[in-house]
Amino acid sequence: MLIDCGFGGAAFESSKGVVGRTLRNLAAAGVDATSIDVVLMSHLHPDHTNGIRAADGTMAFPNAEIMVPVKDWEFWMSDDNAAKVQSNEMMKNYFANVRKVYAGIESKVTKYEWGKEVVPGITSVAAPGHTPGHTAFVIASGSSTILIQSDVTNIPEFFLRNPDWHVVYDVDAEQAQTTRHKFYDMASAEKALVVGFHFSFPSMGHVEKDGARYRLVPIAWNPVI
């Protein structure tokens, strides 16, 4: 099972290898793309969902069920919503991208709700604002948990230290601000390990509360010898 899948192979060449590396990284880790049973999407921005397509447009994970948050699907697939943002080039492109990426594969798509165990051991957590259906995840095994924060924030040096700042990529900035406080209050209280897709390497750590702000304490990392 894979949570989000990056920009996709089509972006690899145009970015000179900066993005679109998911399939290459999986292969380097010994994971065959055909063995992926589920691709679980946190939201439908291009850097998280376009990777379901290979560079030639075929399915990158041909045997996988694609699971998407129902609220995000309904938002991005709405003609009325798309019509409202025609003057906003970024949002206009986002709407067009979702429709292009998912064209013809609706039968592979399963829509999930918040607060449910979407696959064994993984529960979806409401984290709206970045997009209307933006979702975080709790991965549980025994007494251990990991919080996948998705894009609750992308740059912790900015938005953990300043959780009331807004970023242009958030569809509803005020709601995203509320979500940041709620999510990081939970993470700090539970002393949970948090994974951020846009965090600097090693991309995971613990969040500590610092007054009205927060800070990320990255995990210690050592190469395997």
For the stretch 79-138, pLDDT in tens is 999 999 999 999 999 999 999 999 999 999 999 999 999 999 999 999 999 999 999 999
Q: What is the pLDDT of residue 121?
A: 95
Please count the other Cβ atoms lying within 10 Å of the Cβ belonging to residue 2. Answer: 20
Tokens of 100: 């292009």
Question: Which residue in 122, 146, 129, 131 sits closest to 203, CA to CA?
Answer: 146
- pLDDT confidence of residue 136: 98
pLDDT at 84: 96
Does residue 149 contact residue 136 with C-beta atoms inside 8 Å? Answer: yes
Q: 12 near 48, Cβ under 8 Å?
A: no
For range 21-49, the mean pLDDT: 97
Cis bond leading into 128, ω under 30°? no
Pick the most confident of 6-10, 71-75, 140-144: 71-75
Task: Tell me the average pLDDT across 28-48.
Answer: 97
Cα–Cα distance, 129 to 100 (Å, whole number): 23
In angstroms, rounded to a whole number, what is the distance separating the alpha carbons of residues 138 and 83? 35
What is the pLDDT at residue 13? 86
Per residue in 149-205, pLDDT (tens digit) is 999 998 999 999 999 999 999 999 999 999 999 999 999 999 999 999 999 999 999
Closest C-alpha to 196, from 186, 188, 206: 206
- In contact, 49 and 94? CB cutoff 8 Å: no
Please say whether the beta carbons of 152 and 179 come within 8 A.
Answer: yes
Residue 225: pLDDT over 80: no
Q: Looking at residue 90, what is its pLDDT?
A: 96
